[in-house]
Structure 1
C-alpha cells in the first residue's frame, strides 16, 4: 500500500527503477559477445615485398689475410776495420739510386797506408830491375868457366825473388786502393732505405750492418693458405689486395714449394706494382682475394637474410594464410648485393626481400609489388 502510493506520487522514481532492472537483466551480457563474434579478421602487421631465389653466375674468389713485405732487401755493411764513420748522407725513408753515396769513412789513415804501399812498390820495382840486369849479364856470359854454376843460380834466384817482392808490393797497393774505395759506402741498387744502424763517429767492425735497402721499392703481399687452397692457386693468377677502401691489383709471383708439416699451410707471394707509391708499407696486415674464376650459384638478396642465435634465416610466404615461415639456411659468403645459398632454398622459391628484422615466424603480412 505504501510502495504503490510512493510510485503514484512520484512517477519519476518509477521510471528510474524500471531502467535499473532492465540494465541488470541477462540479455545485456549477450550483446557484447555478439558484437565480438561479428568483428573482421586481424590486419597484416607489415607490408612486404617478395624476391625470387635465382641462379646467377658469380665470381669465385678466395679471401685470406697476409702481410706486406719487401720483395728483396739489400744489407749494406762496413768493409773496413778500425776506421771511423766521418759522414752520413742518407736517412730512413730516402729513395736512393744505385751507386749513390750513403756514408763516408775517415780517409786520412787509408790514404797514408796507400802512400806507403806505393812507396813499397817503387822500392820493389827498383830492386827487381837491378836483379834483372844482373841476371841478364849472367845469361850473356858464354865463356866456359867465367862464372860458376853456383853463382849463376844465385843471380837468377835473386831476380825471381825480386820479381815476387814486386808482385807482393803491387798486391798490397791494390789492397789499399780497395780500402780507399770502401771508405765511400754506396747503394747497391735503386730502392728506399728501410733501416739505418750507422752512427756518426762510430768505428764499426767489418761486416757490421750500416743500412738496409728495399730493392727497387718493390713490395709483395705474402699470404699463408692451407694445402687445399694452395692447390687452387697458380702463378700469374690475379689478386686484389685491400688497404682500407683502396683496392690494389696484383699477380701471384710464385708459390711455396713446400708445405709446413705442423700447420699444413704454404706461402703465396703476390707482386703489387707501385706498392710504395700507393701507400703500402712493409709490415702491413691486409686482406686479399684470389680470382678463381666464376661459378653458377643459388642466390638471394643480402637484405633477405637475418642472423639469430648463430644461425642464418630467411622468410618465405604461405600464400593460403598470408603468413611468413622462417627457414633455416646454410650460406656461403656474400657476392655484391647477393648471398649464395648452399642449403634451405631452391631456385624459383620466393623470400621476403627486406624488413626481415621486424618479422617473426607466423606473422601475418601483406604483399606489395
Structure 2
C-alpha cells in the first residue's frame, strides 16, 4: 500500500510566516492613529459677535413722596403706566385741618396790622419834638420803639401765614419730572407720611438695558457702540452703549454695560432682554467655535505640531460671530486646531487628519 503526502502540509509554514509579518514585535497588531478634523487659526474679520443679557431698567427712577405727614389722602389722579408731565398733579391731600389754621393766622395778621398802624401814627405825632420840652425824651423813644415792635409783629404774623399757605400748596403732590408712572402705592383715605413713596416715575419714559458682560469682553466695547436688543417678545430695538461699568463683580466675574434705547411702549422695566453688539468689521485672530473646548481649568485648544502630534494649550477667548471665536491669547496664526474626534486625545498623541479635514 502506497501513502501520498498532501500539499497542505507544505503550505502551512508559509502561512504562519505571512501571519507573523502583520504583527509587531510583541505579537499584537498596532492600531492606526485616530483620525481628526482640523482648522487653521488665522486672521479674519468678525462682525460684532459679542452678546450679553440683562434686565430693562429706567435710566433715572424718580420717587415721589409727600412732604407733610398726618394728612389724609383725598384723591389720587393717576394710575400705573400713565404718562405724566412735569408739574402735573398726582394726588391731593385733605387740607381741612390746615384751612382753619390759615383763617386764624389771617385774623392775627389783621390784628397786628391794626396795632402797627396805631403805633405808627402815635410815633408820627412826636416827630420833631426832640429836646423841646413838650414830652420827655423817654416818652418819645417809647412811641418810636412801640411802632417798630408793632411792625416786627406784623412781619412775624405774615411769616406764619406764609408758612401755612406753603404747607397748603404742598398738600398737592405734583410730578417733578415728565415720564411714565411705574408704580402707584397711594390709596385714598390713608394718612400721608413724609418719606413714604407714593409714586415711582421713569424720567422722560427712558428705559435702557442693564447688560452683564464678561470681564474679557469689556475691552472690546466703547461708549457709543451700536447694539441690537432683542426683547422677550422677539421684537428687536436698536440702541447704543451709554455707560460701561467701572468695576467687575468679584463673585461672578461680570461687569455691566448700559444700553440706551429709544422710547417705546414695548419697553417695560424689569423685563428680560438680550443685546448683540454690532462692531465694525476688524481683523482678529479667530478659529471655529468647535476648536475651543472647556473644562474646570477654562478654555483650551488641541493643536497639532509638524509631526501631527497633539499639544494642549490654554486660550483666552473674546467675541463670537458666525460660528467663529476670537482668540485673545494662547495660540498663534497658522496653527492647526483639532475640531472633531479629539474627545479622547492626550498630550503627545499622534493623529492623522481626515481627508478634506484641513482648512
**TM-score over 0.5 (shorter chain):** yes
Whether 1:251 aligns to 2:240 is yes
CA drift of 1:65 comes to 3.7
Question: Partners of 1:75 and 1:227 in 2: how far apart?
Answer: 33
Quote the residue 2:111 is aligned against.
Answer: 123
Task: From the superposition, tell whether residues 243 and 328 of structure 1 become closer, same or farther in structure 2 (CA, over 3 Å).
Answer: farther
Gaps of 5+ in 1: 1-24, 27-49, 317-324
Whether 1:82 aligns to 2:70 is yes
TM-score, normalising length from structure 2? 0.67
Quote the residue 2:322 is aligned against.
Answer: 336
Question: Partners of 1:345 and 1:337 in 2: how far apart?
Answer: 19
CA RMSD of aligned residues (A): 5.1
Report the structure number with the largest CA radius of gyration.
1
Quote the residue 1:168 is aligned against.
Answer: 156
Task: From the superposition, tell whether residues 53 and 267 of structure 1 become closer, same or farther in structure 2 (CA, over 3 Å).
Answer: closer
CA drift of 1:166 comes to 0.6
Whether 1:151 aligns to 2:139 is yes
- Tell me if structure 2 keeps the 8 A contact 1:239–1:251: yes
Quote the residue 1:288 is aligned against.
Answer: 275
For residue 206 of structure 2, the aligned residue among 214, 218, 223 is 218
After superposition, the C-alpha distances for 1:26-66 in whole angstroms (9 at most, x for unaligned) are 8xxxxxxxxxxxxxxxxxxxxxxx99987531135544443
- Tell me if structure 1 keeps the 8 A contact 2:49–2:321: no
- Tell me if structure 1 keeps the 8 A contact 2:212–2:255: yes
After superposition, the C-alpha distances for 1:210-250 in whole angstroms (9 at most, x for unaligned) are 21211111123334557665555433333333324444332
CA drift of 1:197 comes to 2.5
Task: From the superposition, tell whether residues 148 and 234 of structure 1 become closer, same or farther in structure 2 (CA, over 3 Å).
Answer: farther
How many residues are aligned here? 325
TM-score, normalising length from structure 1? 0.66
After superposition, the C-alpha distances for 1:262-286 in whole angstroms (9 at most, x for unaligned) are 56978655342325423342x3344
Question: Partners of 1:308 and 1:226 in 2: how far apart?
Answer: 16
Question: Partners of 1:246 and 1:326 in 2: how far apart?
Answer: 46
CA drift of 1:129 comes to 0.8
Question: Partners of 1:308 and 1:327 in 2: how far apart?
Answer: 15
Task: From the superposition, tell whether residues 166 and 227 of structure 1 become closer, same or farther in structure 2 (CA, over 3 Å).
Answer: farther
More helix as a share of residues: 1
Q: Match of 1:144, SS?
A: coil
Name which of structure 1's ranges 60-69 and 187-196 shifts more when overlaid on structure 2: 60-69
Quote the residue 2:226 is aligned against.
Answer: 238
Q: Match of 1:199, SS?
A: coil
After superposition, the C-alpha distances for 1:72-127 in whole angstroms (9 at most, x for unaligned) are 12221112233211111122222211122211111222222222222122111111
- Tell me if structure 1 keeps the 8 A contact 2:239–2:262: no
CA drift of 1:192 comes to 1.4
Question: Partners of 2:335 and 2:254 in 1: how far apart?
Answer: 41
Whether 1:98 aligns to 2:124 is no
